[in-house]
Structure 1
Amino acid sequence: MITNNKRNLFKFVALSTVMAFTACTTTDFFNEYKSLPDGWKKSEPTVFDFESLDTITKHDAYINIRTKSDYPYSNLFLIVKMFPPEGVATVDTLQYQMANADGTMLGTGFTDVKEHKLIWRKKVVFKKQGVYKIEVEHAMRKVNEVKGDAVLNGITEIGLQVQ
């Protein structure tokens, strides 16, 4: 026979478990990946489109990069352009560390493919309702060369995640 104390304890444990799993989770407003089977061509920016109807909520935005072990650099320079439904585009030039000094790739993953979750913007508000267009292009070049790499190898996918 189950006593009231045991029932209450069971209810408390069940409720606590549900709260623990739901309280700390973040939900994705937008999450999409683009595959780059032939490397990342400088002449072809990766484009993401999403619709925002909420003009109040603050979001964190990430550029997610999946690399293979043959990625040739220890860092990554990106140019990210955001085109709002109306108005002027914003442009960010970003630099990220992709590998340690000894050449081991940063990121998560157990194989030679690593995922890098790179913060793009914190607490961004999409001030106008409508479709936003995000263009991401690499700005990588070899030392002492003005012209950038026409194709950046070692990157398999690029993602945009807005939480």
Structure 2
Amino acid sequence: MKNLLKNKTSLLKSLILLFIASFHTACDEQTVYHSFQSLPTEGWQRNDTLFFNVSVADSATLYNVSVEVRNRNNYPYQNLPLLIYYDSPEALNIKRDTLELRLADNAGIWLGDGWGGLYQSTLPAGFVRIGKAGEYRFKIIHLLPDEVLPGINDVGIKLKR
């Protein structure tokens, strides 16, 4: 009975965190795009690429890109190396970058915001100048050798003016 109550409390705290994050995003006029993709409970497959399709109407703006990760307590590492790149409407690979997201300190304490076993971390991924309005596809893959990477709950991308 104690475990059931603990699981319900953990789930409630996680839902509150997601609601608060969604509310803050909805109130931000500078955010052009913000989306998460949930990963399977068993883990992020080595060959799974996450795709984010972004419609960009303003090609004269410099966009600030950030990657957001929600991890659980069972993530086995301190860092998460990622490859992020995006394609233009002409299907040309425009920008490609390797990022290192630090999720825990040397003592194993999670650095992200959160509670109840779910933590959210944000990593600035630089600035992008879109050359032409249209549909852009951002792609993210993890660079760890694990065939199945446990403990990553969601991966998101945010574009701000």
Q: TM-score range by the shorter chain?
A: 0.7 to 0.9
Partner of 1:116: 121
Partner of 2:30: 27
Q: Structure 2 length normalisation: TM-score? A: 0.77
Partner of 1:156: 153
- Residue-by-residue CA offset, 1:79-133 (whole Å, 9 max, x unaligned): 11211112631221111211111001111012210001111123x2211111100
Pairs within 5 Å for 1:6-155: 27-37=30-40, 38-86=42-90, 88-89=92-93, 90-122=95-127, 124-140=128-144, 148-155=145-152
Aligned-pair identity (%): 28
State the distance in 1 between where 2:130 and 2:148 align.
32
* Greater gyration radius: 1
Deviation >6 Å, runs of 4+: none
Long gaps (5+) in structure 1:
1-24, 141-147
Long gaps (5+) in structure 2:
1-27
Q: Structure 1 length normalisation: TM-score? A: 0.76
User: How many residues are aligned here?
Assistant: 131
What's the RMSD between the two structures over aligned residues?
1.4
- Residue-by-residue CA offset, 1:116-163 (whole Å, 9 max, x unaligned): 1111123x22111111001100001xxxxxxx1111110000111111
Work out whether residues 86 and 128 of structure 1, in 8 Å CA contact, stay in contact via their aligned partners in 2: no
Which structure is higher in strand share?
2
